[in-house]
Structure 1
Amino acid sequence: MSIWKDAKTSLHTLEGYYLIDLDAPFTWRDCVMGNANVACGLEEGCRFPLECDTSFCLEAYSYINPKCPPLNITAKYGCKICAVTPLNPISKSCKLSKLTTDLMRFLGTDGHNPSTSVKYPKDAFGMKFVISCAPSSLLRSLPKDASGVAAFSWSNLAFPRQLQTLVHDMEDKFALCLPSSSKAPGVTFLGDGPFYFTSFPNIDLRSILSYTPMLRKHIPLPSLKTGSVKLSTVIPYTKLRSDIFKAFVSSFSIATKRIPRLKSVQPFSLCLKSSAVGSVEKGFRVPKIDLETEGGKNWTISGDNSMKRVGNGTACLAFVDGGLRMKDAIVNGTFQLENNFLFLDLGNQKLGLALLY
Structure 2
Amino acid sequence: MASLFHCLLLFLILFSVSTAQKTSFRPKALVLRVTKDESTLQYYTRVAQRTPAIPIKLSIDLGSEFLWVDCENGYNSSTKKPVPCRSAQCSLSGSKACTSNTNPSDDVCIESPHNPFTNTGTADEFSQDIIYIQSTDGKNPGKVVNVPKFLFTCAPTFILEGLAKGAVGIAGLGGNKVSMPSLFSAAFSFPRKFAVCLSSSTSETQNGAVIFGDGPYVLSPGIDISKSLTYTPLVLNRKSLIGCFPGEASAEYFIGVRSIKVGGKQVPLNSTLLSFDEDGHGGTKISTATPYTTLETSIYKAVVDAFVKALGVPTVPAVSPFTACFSTLKIGSTVNGPDVPPIDFVLQSEKVVWRIHGANSLVFVGSDVACLGFVDGGPLHFVDWGIKFTPTAIVIGGHQIEDNLLQFDLATSRLGFSSLLHNKKTGCSSFNFTSIDD
Q: Is TM (by shorter chain) over 0.5?
A: yes
Structure 1 residue ranges, 4+ long, deviating more than 4 angstroms after superposition: 32-35, 75-79, 278-285
* 1:152-231 map, 5 Å: 152-168=173-189, 170-183=190-203, 184-199=206-221, 201=222, 203-216=223-236, 217-223=253-259, 224-227=271-274, 228-231=283-286
Distance 2:162 2:229 in 1: 34
SS at match of 2:359: helix
Alignment-derived partner of residue 23 in structure 1: 63
Alignment-derived partner of residue 356 in structure 1: 421
Alignment CA distance shift 1:196-1:72 (3 Å):
closer
Contact 2:99 2:109 in 1 (8 A): no
Alignment-derived partner of residue 326 in structure 2: 272
> Can you list the C-alpha shifts for 1:206-259, whole angstroms capped at 9, x where unaligned?
1111111112332112344432211001010101111211111111011122x2
What is the TM-score of this pair, normalised by structure 1? Answer: 0.86
Structure 2 counterpart of 1:41, from 72, 78, 84: 78
Alignment-derived partner of residue 2 in structure 1: 33
CA RMSD, Structure 1 to Structure 2 (Å): 2.6
| Per-residue deviation, 1:97 | 1.3
Contact 1:277 1:284 in 2 (8 A): no
Alignment-derived partner of residue 6 in structure 2: none
Contact 2:98 2:107 in 1 (8 A): no
SS at match of 2:255: coil
Contact 2:291 2:397 in 1 (8 A): yes
Distance 1:262 1:281 in 2: 17
What is the TM-score of this pair, normalised by structure 2? Answer: 0.71
Distance 1:310 1:262 in 2: 12
Contact 1:49 1:80 in 2 (8 A): no
SS at match of 2:318: coil
Identity across the alignment (%): 34
SS at match of 1:137: helix
Amino acid at match of 1:332: I
* 1:292-331 map, 5 Å: 292-295=346-349, 296-311=351-366, 313-325=368-380, 327-331=391-395
State whether structure 2 residue 168 is matched by structure 1 residue 104: no
**Unmatched runs of 5 consecutive residues or more in structure 1:** 65-70
**Unmatched runs of 5 consecutive residues or more in structure 2:** 1-31, 47-55, 237-252, 260-270, 275-282, 382-390, 423-438
Contact 1:273 1:313 in 2 (8 A): yes
Distance 2:232 2:331 in 1: 31
Distance 1:316 1:337 in 2: 17
Contact 1:27 1:149 in 2 (8 A): yes
Distance 1:240 1:263 in 2: 21
* 1:139-154 map, 5 Å: 139-154=160-175
Distance 1:219 1:131 in 2: 27
Contact 2:85 2:98 in 1 (8 A): no
- Equivalent residues, number: 333
Alignment-derived partner of residue 67 in structure 1: none
| Per-residue deviation, 1:110 | 2.1
Contact 1:196 1:204 in 2 (8 A): yes
